[in-house]
Structure 1
Amino acid sequence: MGKVYLVGAGPGDPELITVKGLTCIQKADVILYDRLVNEELLSYAKKDAELIFCGKLPGYHTMQQETINRFLIRHAKKGKIVVRLKGGDPFVFGRGGEEAEALANSGIDFEIVPGITSGIAAAAYAGIPVTHRDFSSSVAFVTGHKRDGSQEEIKWESLAKGIDTIAIYMGISNLPYIRDQLIKHGKAPSTPVAVIQWGTLYEQRTVTATLETIVEAVQQKRIENPSMIIIGEVVTLRDKIYWFERMLQPSVANEAL
C-alpha cells in the first residue's frame, strides 16, 4: 500500500512552498495538481513521475472531486507515493478535508502538509497585515461563493459587527452581493477594502477603495479572478508599507482610487 500527501503549494510564488512540501514533490510517483499551482514546482518532480492536471475553472471542472478522490485511492493502492498538490493550504477552501475523509474511509495512509494561504500571503505582498495591535485583533476567512442550490451559510451580521479583518476568497463575481450584505448588516460604507489579483506573483495588481465604492473600482481596473478581497482598517497601512509592487513597478504599484 502506498501513501498520499495532501500538500499546500502556497499562494503562487514558488519560493513560498514549505521545505516538507518540496520534499514530498521530489519523492512522489504521482502528482495530481490544481490550476493555481505554480507549474515551476513540478520541475522538482522525478523524471518518471506521473503528472495529472485536475484543476478547476469557474463554471468548469476539469475533474470532478469524486474522480480526484478515486484517483488518489487507486494510485495509493498500487503502492505509489501520491502527492495531491493544491494552491494555498489544503484545509482552507481547498477541499482537503473531503479528500482526507475519502482516504481515511478507504484505509489509505496519508499526511497533511500545510501551505501558506492566500488570505495571509496576498495581503502581506500587498503591504496589508491582517492583524495589527492598533487596527485588528480578529480575522475571518470567508468563501465568496457557495455550492449551487445551497442555502446562505455566511453569518453576515457576525462578520459585519464582530470581525476586524475579513479575507474573502473567490469573491469577485459576487462582490456586489458581498458589499450589500456587509453594509446591510452594519459594516460602515467607508470601511477600507483592497482587492489583490494574482497575489505574490509578478502579475500582482492591487486596487483599494471603500466598501461603498469597491465594485466600481474593480470594474474600472478590470480586476478578475484569482483575487483576494481584504476588508478592514488594516488596508490603510498599505500606503506606508506596500513593498512588492513598489519593487516590481515603482510608477504604477498603487492603484488606489
Structure 2
Amino acid sequence: MSFPPDIVPPFPEMQLGEVWLVGAGPGDPRLLTLMAVHALASADTVIHDALVDPRILRLARESAELHFAGKRGGRPSPNQRDINELIVAEAKRGRRVLRLKGGDPFVFGRGGEEAEALLRAGIPFRIVPGLTSGLAAAALAGIPATTRETNHAVILAAGHRADGDGAAHAWEALAATGQPIILYMALAQIEEIVAAFLRGGMSPDTPATVISHATGEGERILETRVSALVVDIQSAAIEAPAVIVVGSIAALRAVLAPGMVKP
C-alpha cells in the first residue's frame, strides 16, 4: 500500500514478536482504517472475534494463520485468560500477531485486559482504534450521536452487565440523566433494562431504534418506543449482534434517513 508521504505518513512495520490490537469497525470492510488494512496484509497470525465480518478476514495475507477467539453470550466461548495466553504464545513464537476485534478494541472489547496481559509478559504491542459499532451503526442508520437541539452528552453502555449486583440501580441512574443511551450486547437483558429505565423516570414514549447486524448483509432496523421495545424485538425476531439507541436522537432517523444515500 503506497500513498504520497505528504498526505499519509509511512505505515509502521509490524515486527516479529509484536502484537497489534486492532479495531475492525462495525462490519463493512469499507469502514476499516488504513492501518487495519495494513495490519491484515502484514500479520502472520490473526486472532479474531466472532463479530469480525468474514469479508474482512479475506483481506489477511494468504499465508496467515487464523485463530477464532470469539465470545458470544449464552454460547460456549473461550475464556479471556485462554485468549490472553494464545496471544502471548503466538508472539513468543516470533509471529507478527494481529488481535482483530469488532468495533474498537477499547470500547467493550476487552482490549485493555489484553494490553495488560501483554505488558506483564513483556510483549510489545500497538493499539489501532476502529469505528466503535454503537456510534457507527447509529450514524449509518441516520441517528447522530449528538445534536445541539437534543443532547449535550451520550451514554455508551454494555447491556450484558444487567445481571450484576446493583445493575438495576445503575440503569435507573442512567435513565435519570435524561441523556440518550446506546446499548451494546443488550438483547438478552432488554426486558430487565427497560423495566429499570421506566423506574428511573424515563418516559414510555421515549424513541428507541434497534440496529441488528449493522452494515452486514442481514442488517435490520426496528423503530419503536421504550414502552413497546421488548414486544417489538420479540415480534420482529431481532437477533444479536444488535445496537439499541434509546433517547431523543433515535427520533431523528425519521428525519434524516429518507435523504441519505444508501451505502
The change in CA–CA distance for 1:151 and 1:124 in structure 2 (over 3 A counts) is same
Q: CA shift at 1:202, angstroms?
A: 2.8
The change in CA–CA distance for 1:61 and 1:8 in structure 2 (over 3 A counts) is farther
> Is this contact kept in 1: 2:162–2:189, CA < 8 A?
no
- Which residue does the alignment assign to 1:14? 29
CA deviations 1:213-252 (Å, max 9, x no partner) are 111111111111111110011111111212699848xxxx
The change in CA–CA distance for 1:103 and 1:165 in structure 2 (over 3 A counts) is same
Asked whether 1:155 is paired with 2:182, we answer no
Structure 1 gap segments, 5+ residues each: 249-257
Q: 1: CA distance between counterparts of 2:110 and 2:132?
A: 13
- Which residue does the alignment assign to 1:47? 62
TM-score by length of 2: 0.88
Give the paired residue count.
247
Q: Give 1:201's match in structure 2, choosing from 189, 213, 216.
A: 216
State the SS of the aligned residue for 2:103.
coil
Q: CA shift at 1:67, angstroms?
A: 1.1
The root-mean-square deviation of aligned C-alpha atoms, in Å, is: 1.9
The change in CA–CA distance for 1:244 and 1:74 in structure 2 (over 3 A counts) is farther
Q: 2: CA distance between counterparts of 1:88 and 1:244?
A: 26
Asked whether 1:141 is paired with 2:141, we answer no
Q: CA shift at 1:177, angstroms?
A: 0.7
CA deviations 1:127-166 (Å, max 9, x no partner) are 1111111112111110111297x42346224311214210
TM-score by length of 1: 0.90
Q: 2: CA distance between counterparts of 1:244 and 1:218?
A: 26
Q: CA shift at 1:188, angstroms?
A: 1.1
> Is this contact kept in 2: 1:30–1:81, CA < 8 A?
yes
> Is this contact kept in 2: 1:33–1:51, CA < 8 A?
yes
Q: Give 2:120's match in structure 1, choosing from 96, 105, 119.
A: 105
- Which residue identity lines up with residue 194 of structure 2 in the other structure? R
State the SS of the aligned residue for 2:131.
coil
> Is this contact kept in 1: 2:142–2:260, CA < 8 A?
no
State the SS of the aligned residue for 1:175.
helix
